[in-house]
A and B are shown apart, each in its own frame.
Chain A
């Protein structure tokens, strides 16, 4: 984890330098947007989607282990304060009798925060930043299996 943090910090610094360089020219972007992590859209997650499974897109594979930013909605969290939640493309509600709580759509990404925190109104667009992690991982506390995560993440209103 410590190693990951260090790498994270380093890549961030590089990005900052790059951004500074870019902004030396005429730079209309805000400074935040300039050094933001690579923006990843929900429709860029999978290369192919099929009944027999999905494949990750080349962009997702290339960004594995790198800083990304994603915009979406916070799915109803399991509890008021936690260190993870699920980011969804559209605001999500879950109907207890038309689908079970084991059900999540394909357009989701698990977010693991850098610290536990109390969740805010989920009815609004948020932007999440953190390190993209690709591959099957089972959360030991909840048993939740995820294939795509943003770890060490933070979020803010978009």
Chain B
């Protein structure tokens, strides 16, 4: 018995050691043929260089990659060795088995290197990313914008006429749950990564800029085409989603450096918020820690600068071919505030363009390039308003996002060589369960919530025909709930004084209900169901819907990981044509 136990222990031990090393790119990575990436092996212990072998399909890695491999005996912050080789490429498509060995530690991973068709199907690609866009947001936007009677919608959103093509799994390499950085990075590189990471695999060292890199779509376009690149967002342009088009960092919060990545790629059109990271630190309002003046640097690089809706219109009329539009020091305001309530930060930045204005200018400008373009448009505030459960702002922003899609759909009518993709990067745990009707009797707001047959239909009106409800504080309105929340006061009412702040931190570092809403008539305290260090509702792990129209659209089908979407995009544009 005793000898059996010893034998078992030895076997168990061997099994765990045998799987100890980590290889980046990870097992089952899909890699665009010819695209540069970093190969890194992290061993679990300090190993001797003479004991290390890294082979690819049985041949030394150096020989296959044409580059010598660097050995790091002890990585910073880890009592362990690593091997690293930067910016390697594999030109021939196929299956590649990578085996790393050092003494008892071994790790085998398989990569799928893929090429694309020889000829492109699409000249232009417009990628619409509704941040956090969930099914309830679409349903709510339709009900709010178009109305309904006798159970049938009184109109259709633009996105209602783009066929749903795939369900997208959005999980990260380190969790089933995800964030915008990780998922947009997967869309824009073809490689999954960890929460908070962009354009890199997340390694074990602390430095957020030394992680193994993969090529992103902007770099691939610059390397293989003469297409123009456009980025449009209502968030800061260096926020996770727009950043993932161009950047490489383990930490999405490193926004000052991400502006440097934007400058390196120089998208022909770059529109959004976030000027604070473009200004030198001596300028009040700057969030940089150095004196770099990126506004001036972009100007010197030939960009026309726009800082307001009017200046954007003027810039659109110039022939510089390059527009930098920065309309806010931080995130631009949600559409409900920008167009209607004038709350949030609209008094400070009263002349911000909307997503529709920005999308129109971007498409007009980019379409001047006979080689075509890639444009990414983010409906940023859908997520930014869903976190604090400000459903009215989230839905009005979904309507705005849909109107921006309408601009692209119109463009595609005269430019049928345009592929339009509409998707989200993750969902929120949000559902519409009926209406809340102020005219129901009593003072308790929960008794005014109508479910099933008591829900009836909401009474929003759009008399001016702009697609937005004339008022959101109607007497019978949509009732949305998040299935997860911190402690907060549920008011059952739109937040007319400014975006909702459900919870604030106390002295113990816990988020507690924001007492500002305590005295709203009918407000009730809801005790949270997520940990107390969570300040707002969180992303859901549920699949995202992807819709597509245009040439190359047949590459999107069924269930796809978000990393698979990249392959369909580069296939449509033929970024790695098969060699004959």
Contacts and interface: CB of A to CB of B under 8 A. Distances in A.
Interface string B513-551: 011100000000000000000011011000000000000
Contacts of B508: 80
Given A95-B387, A97-B387, A101-B253, A51 B327 contact: yes
Interface stretch (A14-22, A23-31, A62-70, A113-121): A113-121
Interface stretch (B281-289, B414-422, B455-463, B562-570): B281-289
B491 interface: no
Main SS at interface, chain A: loop
Contacts of B388: 95
A118 B275 CA distance: 35
A91 B275 CA distance: 24
A120 B289 CA distance: 30
A3 interface: no
Interface stretch (A4-12, A32-40, A102-110, A149-157): A102-110
B266 interface: no
Contact of A51 (B180, B326, B514): B326
B504 interface: yes
Nearest to B240: A97
B393 interface: no
A52 interface: yes
A126 interface: no
A97 B255 CA distance: 14
Contacts of B286: 53, 145
B279 A53 contact: yes
Interface residues of B, number: 53
Contacts, number: 118
Contacts of B253: 100-102
Contact of A92 (B308, B387, B504): B504
A101 B255 CA distance: 11
Contact of B505 (A93, A97, A147): A93
A100 B255 CA distance: 9
A95 B535 CA distance: 6
The 9 A-B pairs of least Cβ separation, nearest first, read: A100-B253, A76-B505, A51-B307, A53-B283, A93-B535, A54-B285, A54-B284, A91-B504, A49-B348
Interface of B: 179-180, 239, 252-255, 275, 279, 281-289, 295, 307-308, 326-331, 345, 348-349, 383-384, 387-388, 498, 501-509, 511-512, 514-516, 535-536, 538-539
Given A51-B308, A54-B283, A99-B331, 13 more contacts: A54-B329, A55-B284, A56-B284, A76-B505, A80-B509, A90-B501, A90-B516, A93-B514, A97-B387, A97-B538, A100-B253, A106-B330, A123-B515
Interface of A: 46, 49-56, 73, 76-77, 80, 90-106, 118-124, 136, 138, 143, 145, 147-148
